[in-house]
Amino acid sequence: MEKNVRRAAGSLLVVGLSGTELTGLERAWLRVIRPAGIILFKRNIADVDQTRALLNEATGLSALHSARCVDVEGGTVNRFRDALGPMPSAQAVARASLHPTLSAKQGGKNGAPNSLAREHGDLIARTVKAFGCNTTLAPVVDLGLPASAEVLGTRPPAADPAEVVPFARGFLEALAAQGVAGCGKHFPGLGSADLDSHFVTPEIARTVHQMWDEDLVPYRQLHRLMPIIMTNHAAYPRTPSKAAPSSASQFWITNVLRKRIGYRGLVFTDDLEMGGILKFMEIEEAVVTATRAGSDLLEICHSVELILRAFEGLLAEAEKSAAFRRLLLQRATEVERKRARLYSGIPRRLTPKQFDKLRDRVARFLDKVTALSQGDSFAPRASSPAEHV
């Protein structure tokens, strides 16, 4: 297999690491794969200096213009909670913005950007940059409907798209102002999912018309502000995608997101180790199918075995199919161009004094939002791995 095909296959993968330092094995396979990016979890984070050193070494063995990803949504999903402090959830910020003591402008009514959401996004962007990352996989723009309350908790801003949109607009604009890439998730919407896609493939009994008028409203209105959109592993049997997870669905990614909505950014799969996809197909089939469906970046967060199998699966399909080989090379070129536009350098290191000031700002913002929203929840729930890995 020629070198540029191997490079193309690796450049579509975003991978996780095992701990706070690279192992010898990780250095070896990173050199072989040269992935598009690294995603961090709590297991990778001890403090600022260690995290930045880990990222610098890992991305030095990766493709140029690497994505340095982390999940910092606020609330229960915040990988830097222990290293910096808790951040209020999207739902608490959206709820606080409606407090009667705030002005209409601050509340983000009628679709106007939400000023509390801007502050939320600004603090998260500064936090992400302090630890050396350039991407936060936020905001969640799923609708906070009763069906998904036990699964998503306080992660969605609100149940009504008219409230989700101003929150997400303010949040995304603040990220962009700080040079941090945001990620709208989980396309096309998990608001009606009563099962966790970490374990199974949820079946959402909504029609395309229902999805278009409700769940897809944040993407329809804000897709130009979303450098990255993450697809989920739910199935929508009342739509043309039938039983297939949306992360492997040409209908959702190409027909709806690309063509009908007009999205031009990076399409990023949710973790391909999750039961929602692996109980449907093997990892080799998953990465090939997701690529054919229109995905740009394929996320594999934990298993070295699955990362290597995914890489080899892409190569095997490229060797077997000339059409897939052309697609792989074309997709890699497009993704490299988009990454180069998004990621121009390593975020500046803060001084200890600046870091302490950021910690204080985060704590004060938490107190303000908690008071205005009448409380928030930060305790991880064992039923949702997204909240504590």
Which residues are marked as active site? 198, 270
Pairwise CA distance, residues 8 & 362, whole Å: 40
Cβ atoms of 328 and 314 within 8 Å: the answer is yes
Query: 78 and 86 in contact (C-beta within 8 Å)?
Result: yes
Look up residue 309 and give its amino acid.
R
CA dihedral 307, 312, 315, 317 (to 10 degrees): -100
Q: Name the strand (E) or helix (H) holding 353.
A: helix 352-373
Q: Do residues 48 and 350 make contact, with C-beta atoms less than 8 angstroms apart?
A: yes
What secondary structure does DSSP assign to 186-210, as a single string?
Answer: EET--TT--S-TTTS--B----HHH
What is each CA distance from 117 to 132, 367, 372, in whole angstroms?
Answer: 22, 15, 13
Q: DSSP characters for 58-121?
A: HHHTS-SS-EEEE-EEETTEETTTTTT-----HHHHHHHTT-TTS-HHHHTGGGPPPHHHHHHH
Q: In angstroms, rounded to a whole number, what is the distance separating the alpha carbons of residues 234 and 220?
A: 20
Can you tell me the distance from the alpha carbon of 107 to that of 88, in angstroms, rounded to the nearest whole number? 16
